[in-house]
Homo-oligomer: A and B are copies of this chain.
Amino acid sequence: MRLHLLLCALLAPAPLAPAASALRNPGLWPLPLSVHLSPHLLHLSPETFRISHHPASTLGPFCTLLQKAFLRYHGYIFGAHKTRHRSPRLNKHGQLQQLTALVVQDSECDAFPSISSDESYALNVSGSVAVLKANEVWGVLRGLETFSQLIYEDSDRKFTINEACITDSPRFPHRGILIDTARHYLPVKTILKTLDAMAMNKFNVLHWHIVDDQAFPYQSATFPQLSKKGSYTLTHVYRPKDVREVIEFARRRGIRVLPEFDTPGHTQSWGKGQKNLLTVCDAKEKFSTVYGPINPALNSTYTFLSRLFAEISRVFPDEFIHLGGDEVDLLCWKSNAEIQKFMKQNKRFKDVRELESFYIQKVLNIISTLKKRPIIWQEAFDDHAKLHPDTVVQVWINRDYHLEQARVTAAGYPVLLSAPWYLDYINSGEDWRAYYAVEPLNFPGSERQKQLVLGGEACLWGEFVDATNLMPRLWPRASAVGERLWSNKEVSSTKEAYNRLTVHRCRMVRRGIAAQPLFTGYCDHEYNIEK
């Protein structure tokens, strides 16, 4: 937290004007680091209120990212208003007329967010002009969300805000949502809507599990046959312009797009468009060919992967690439005569696990050459001690995940936590409470080990999810993970969280996100499927 709390000194004590003085739960989510709300109220006019650049800001109207964000949040704040009623008259006195955004460091407007982006901000709402101060554009985006969350319609339908002083920064730098476009194709619009909802919950990584056994919807320029043969249909494909659109839409919201191309397992669909890539498992029946993981014994495999990952590293600007590495069918490798021969020739392989290690290290080398950092699922760590030192390990197996976190960090690798946050598992009732109760640093280990936890991800695997049910299944259940990864460790009361999250959920609904209810109750602006 590099920003100072100086701004808060500006906040005058609340005058005793009973009509314009109240404290109510604005449903801030995730809860900022430090919140001072004054009971003194200000009102906003939808017609005249504006969000603009502070004169002292290093960024001005040329910054499209901020200009669009200003418009977006103006819409969020007053959106439902326009279609419903005329606004009440406001006194000039007690009116908040402007929010100005002040970026204090030299910050690039056209850059991509990264794991080291500074998302901190300070927000001062007092008098007629509120100030949102941040080191970088990313902090402005987070602060705009918080500012918009402070505003509500009072009983006279006046847009209202408490004078406030807020300073904020995230607890973890990697706060992700995994979507799976292989088990079901997700229309680009659904992905964009998800990014919108992510920004409302201050998530900053879209982990795009883009291909898998079932389908290869990524359209590769280098290997067009992969999607031509491996996608469900030719309409169920992400063209280069679709991918660019997702990446830019995410960037505008301070969200990184982390592509996952999972190998050597989970690659059935790859085999359709790329000959001799998959291992032919030893078939017991003469006429059926069963394919297994990518064949690690062929040079052609690594030539292919080098070229494919070279393309991926160009298409996806993020520093990281997720390489998968989970659930490899070693028995298929074992059954294949060619692979057996290869292992005998290379005497270093004691068993197929070491072959798996060999494969992973080859792919890690490719990634390293491309100047990208790798992320892998935990099996690749479990089975192979020798990973590149900057490899990030994602812990997903629920059983004893604390111990896995301890092992990974003890070995010196950065870690991402997903195990307790598999949102594709559903149950009746309020399962968000269990997600919320997770403490990501609650594992045996030193302070140095704890510092290796980069954050975590809520994973919505796609076996039973497509555009029909993704939004209500993800939200607000993922919101619980969002607060856990953003807010302080001490923010842990589920009772208090429930009160804020019900408000936040209705706010998402009002903004067009089909976030499902937490329990009985209502929203002032219900979701209307015809919208």
Residues of A within 8 A of B (CB): 183-185, 187, 189-190, 193, 214-215, 232-233, 235-236, 424-429, 462-469, 471-473, 509, 514-522, 524, 526-530
Decide if the interface of chain A is mainly helix, strand, loop or mixed. loop
Give the number of copies in the complex.
2
Asked if B468 contacts A527 (CB within 8 A), the reply is yes
Asked if A526 contacts B467 (CB within 8 A), the reply is yes
A527 contacts across to B, CB distance below 8 A: 466-468
Bound complex: CA A517 to CA B469 (Å): 9
Asked if B471 contacts A529 (CB within 8 A), the reply is yes
Nearest CB on B from A184, distance (A): 6
A516 contacts across to B, CB distance below 8 A: 464-466, 468-469
Mind listing 11 A-B residue pairs with CB under 8 Å? A184-B522, A185-B526, A190-B528, A232-B521, A428-B464, A464-B518, A466-B527, A468-B509, A468-B514, A469-B469, A469-B517
The residue that A184 contacts in the complex, of B183, B232, B521, with Cβ under 8 A, is: B521
Chain B residue at smallest Cβ distance from A463? B520
Chain B residue at smallest Cβ distance from A231? B522
Chain B residue at smallest Cβ distance from A514? B468
Asked if B428 contacts A425 (CB within 8 A), the reply is yes
A427 contacts across to B, CB distance below 8 A: 426-428
Supply 16 further A-B pairs (C-beta < 8 A) apart from A428-B464, A469-B514. Answer: A184-B522, A185-B522, A187-B529, A189-B528, A189-B529, A214-B520, A233-B522, A426-B426, A427-B427, A427-B428, A464-B516, A465-B516, A468-B515, A468-B516, A472-B472, A514-B529
A469 contacts across to B, CB distance below 8 A: 469, 472-473, 514, 516-517
8 closest Cβ pairs, A-B complex: A469-B472, A232-B522, A468-B514, A469-B516, A468-B527, A183-B520, A467-B527, A468-B472
Bound complex: CA A530 to CA B513 (Å): 11
Asked if A520 contacts B189 (CB within 8 A), the reply is no
A463 contacts across to B, CB distance below 8 A: 519-520
